Structures are given as C-alpha cells and as structure tokens.
C-alpha cells in the first residue's frame, strides 16, 4: 500500500526489532502483486502473495490470470500464497455476480498452482462458505483473513482445514464475537495479521497500522486464552510457517 512507500525500510526494521520474524505482503491486483514480489525480493524473511481482490473483480481478464500464474512459477519471486481473493458485499466496488465468478475462477487456479489461498470475506459469509465448499478440498490449505464471523462460521472454516487469522480488531472492547472466537478455536489453527494500513490495535486504533504492533494483538489473545504471550507468538509463527511453507 502507498501508505508505506516513504518509510518502508524503517517499518520493516522496527517490526524485526519487535520480534516479527516473517512478513507476507499481499497483492490485490496485478500491479500490487508485482510490487509485493519486488518487496519480497528486497528483504530477507519477506514473502509475497498474488491475486485479484474482490474490489477489483470487474477489472480483470484472462491475460491478467495468465500473468499471475506465470509469476507464481518463478521460485525467485518468493510467492507463498494466492490471494487476497473472496467476496466483499460491504463495499461492493464490483457487482456480486462478478465477484463470485472471479472468486471461483481464482480458487480453481490456486488449487492448480498448489498454493494456499488467502480469503477475504466481508459481509458475505454464506456465499463465501458455499463457494469454498463447492471447490474443496484444498490440499495446500488456506486462511480466512481478518476473520469477522461468529463461532458457527469459525467451525465451518476449520472444517475446510483452513486457518483463522485475527487482526488488531481483537483489542477493541466491543468485538465480543471475535473475543469468543480467539478464545475458543484451537491454537494450532490460529494466525496473526496486521492488515496494514488498516485495523491498528488499541491504543493506535484509527492510525496507520504497522507490523510492529502485532505483539499487541498477540498479547490480547494471550489474555483471552489465559496463556503466555510467548505461547501465542511461538504457536502462531509455527502455524504461519507451516501454512505458507516458509523456510
């Protein structure tokens, strides 16, 4: 995202100093996927994902897909996942029918490429689950990023073999459903994310989010589960390494 273009070096080194050992930077269209690759190539322990976000679903064609598939075949691009892909019925920047069509096409493509999928689901729980179930199983796995549902949805996501990713929202006092999910789901299926520049945890709510704040999110989950923050950090790092097959 543009928000980091002026101080990317210091954002990444501050994260490292705060104990964030690995970062995945995510593509949302063709250009940002290329940007993600070039950032991943520049920094150690940084990896890329590529894909077309539902916001951009009405602006892609077969050639874009071919370009994305070609990128994933080059090992030096450090691409560890396909996404963000999914459905967004809150913003509806693209018509839902188009979103569904492109979501299915990309799920199938990610499967062919043997890549784990990063799923974006905002206000579209039932269609998202329905399409995922249609195309399951996913041998390379996946993650529901910025999980925003209740325990019932969480159980369906877990049943697909997916991980659940929890952002800084878990630090908000009114996020009761997410507190329950963070408390209830098996720790070995939980991963953490920044989703920068959005969703900064308290006390930085509303400001630019930074990967160095990930420890705040981890600390809140530790508190909800009544375990140590080290256990949350170690387990979620292990989970992410396993899902994305990081070295």
Contact footprint for Zn ion (CB under 5 A): 84, 120
d(Cα 222, Cα 234) in Å, to the nearest integer? 12
State in angstroms the smallest separation of the CB of 157 from Zn ion: 15
CB atoms near residue 59 (< 10 Å) = 14
Name the closest residue to Zn ion (Cβ). Answer: 120
Q: Where are the beta strands (DSSP E) in 123-234?
A: 142-145, 163-166, 190-192
Strands 117-122 and 79-88: parallel
Nearer to Zn ion, 29 or 84 (CB): 84
Using the minimum distance from each CB to Zn ion, give the nearer residue, 120 or 179: 120
- For Zn ion, give the closer residue by CB, 145 or 222: 145
In the complex, the smallest distance separating the C-beta of residue 59 from Zn ion, rounded to whole angstroms, is 17
Nearer Cβ to Zn ion (83/233): 83
| 55 in Cβ contact with 28 (< 8 Å) | yes
Considering the complex, state which of residue 148 and residue 156 has its C-beta at the smaller distance from Zn ion: 148
130 CB-contact burial (10 Å; exposed 0-12 / middle 13-18 / buried 19+): exposed
**What's the min distance (Å) between Cβ of 29 and Zn ion?**
13
Q: How far is the CB of 120 from Zn ion (least distance, A)?
A: 4
Dist. CA 149–CA 184, nearest whole Å: 13
Quote the least distance from Cβ 76 to Zn ion, whole Å.
26
Question: How many other β-carbons are positioned within 10 Å of the β-carbon of residue 45?
Answer: 16
């Amino acid at each position: 995202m543009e928000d980091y273009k002026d101080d990317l070096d210091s954002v990444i080194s501050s994260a490292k100093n705060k104990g964030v050992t690995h970062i995945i930077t995510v593509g949302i269209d063709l250009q940002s996927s290329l940007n993600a690759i070039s950032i991943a190539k520049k920094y150690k322990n940084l990896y890329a994902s590529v894909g077309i976000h539902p916001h951009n679903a009405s602006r892609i064609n077969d050639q874009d897909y071919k370009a994305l598939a070609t990128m994933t075949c080059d090992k030096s691009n450090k691409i560890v996942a396909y996404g963000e892909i999914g459905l967004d019925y809150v913003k509806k920047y693209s018509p839902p029918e188009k979103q569904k069509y492109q979501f299915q096409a990309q799920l199938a493509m990610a499967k062919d490429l043997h890549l784990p999928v990063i799923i974006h689901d905002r206000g579209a729980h039932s269609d998202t689950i329905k399409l995922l179930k249609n195309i399951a199983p996913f041998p390379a796995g996946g993650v529901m990023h910025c999980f925003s549902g209740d325990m019932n949805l969480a159980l369906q996501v877990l049943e697909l073999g997916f991980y659940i990713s929890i952002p800084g929202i878990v630090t908000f006092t009114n996020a009761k459903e997410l507190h329950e999910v963070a408390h209830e789901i098996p720790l070995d299926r939980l991963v953490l994310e920044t989703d920068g520049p959005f969703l900064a945890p308290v006390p930085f709510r509303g400001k630019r989010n930074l990967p160095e704040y990930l420890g705040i999110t981890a600390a809140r989950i530790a508190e909800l589960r009544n375990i140590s923050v080290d256990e949350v950090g170690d387990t979620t790092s292990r989970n992410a390494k396993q899902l994305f097959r990081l070295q």
